[in-house]
Amino acid sequence: MEFFTPVSKLSTDMALGTHPLATRWRLSVAPMMDWTDRHCRYFHRLLTRHTRLYTEMVTTGALLHGDVARHLRFNLEEQPLALQLGGSEPADLARAARMGADWGYDEINLNCGCPSERVQRGAFGACLMNEPALVADCVKAMVDVVDVPVTVKHRIGIDKNEDYGFARDFVGTVAQAGCGVFIVHARNAWLQGLSPKENREIPPLRYDMAYRLKQDFPSLHIVVNGGITNNADIATHLQQVDGVMLGREAYYRPWLMTEWDALFYGDAPTPPVPEVVEEAMVLYMERAFAEDGCPWYAIARHMLGLYHGRRGARLWRQVWSDHRLKPLPPREVLARAHAAMAQAAVVADHAA
């Protein structure tokens, strides 16, 4: 397992250049706090070669005053990979973006979509949509110091303001600062009265807003996010916009991603096999423990959807989630998990 270390200058042959510009943001997995860490991203990369992956949001304060390596270290296999930053001070974002570029990230993304109260107290996230000129200053500061794309993830509106002009003017202002890619979560963000979870479910989805942005800004790359759950929906959205981002659906049903390279990138590698992916993750767990003492259960939690829909999947998940097994090596847990699946199959056969 090789970690990327800082480099003085990015090569033009990085993963961003692997595909034509139009395909860079075709499919992506959303940044999700406490979920899309480097272990999760390693797992996802075993399922899809081309899908763009995003880090959890990292605040500028964490990078400027914390453990940089802990926040920015990643596995080479994860690329193409974007670093999502949270912040609202142009100078701080510029410094953080430069760190990300030096570490080898393929994209720097600014969070203008998170509605949580904690993020609001930091004066960033979705509340930044009320200050498009400030966001433009932030983007310009980052664009000036990095050679990779600076992108913005945002909502379509704030609170109950459903005026398309609000989103249009935000995008137009920020685009002038050098942002060419906008990831549009097609719901409003309600800054008061709703939890982050409720903000992902209660404000209505309005994909037409993202479509109109693409129509009004044809030279920009518009990626739609929110409530998308299957490949048919992905294909429908791609008729209107440049890309689609999935979040929790990809996390809970990761096998969905195994079809994306063939369907949406024209690449048809040998389809992965769940047992082979699981074995690769066990090897990864063993290396992670040997290199930095990372316990296997911190990694296994991300792959619990691997056998989603398969007979015995529930028992398999229970084994990998059993806190009583934490002292065991991961290969022993693997054996127990498969024994549980085999027993489930025997019981099902007898019942039939």
Residue 342 tokens, joined:
């085999």
Please give the full DSSP string across 220-258, using - where no structure is assigned: SEEEEESS--SHHHHHHHTTTSSEEEE-HHHHHSGGGGG
Residues 6+ apart with CB under 8 A from 46: 272, 277, 280, 281
| From 114, 127, 138, 179, the catalytic residue | 114
Is the preceding peptide bond at 80 cis, omega within 30 degrees of 0? yes
**Closest to 265 (Cα-Cα) out of 15, 9, 11, 14:** 15
Rounded to 5 degrees, φ, ψ at 74 are: -150, 165
Residue pair 167/156 in contact (Cβ under 8 Å)? The answer is yes
Classify the C-alpha dihedral 88-244-34-155 as positive or negative: positive
The torsion angles phi and psi of 27, rounded to 5 degrees, stand at -130, 140
DSSP string, 142-160: HHTT-SS-EEEEEEEEETT
294 catalytic per annotation: no
The Cα 116–Cα 139 span in angstroms is 22
Name which of 108, 100, 209 is nearest 153 in CA terms. 108
DSSP string, 299-322: HHGGGTTTTTTSTTHHHHHHHHH-
| Among the listed residues 255, 260, 257, 223, the one whose alpha carbon sits nearest the alpha carbon of residue 240 | 223
Active-site residue list: 114
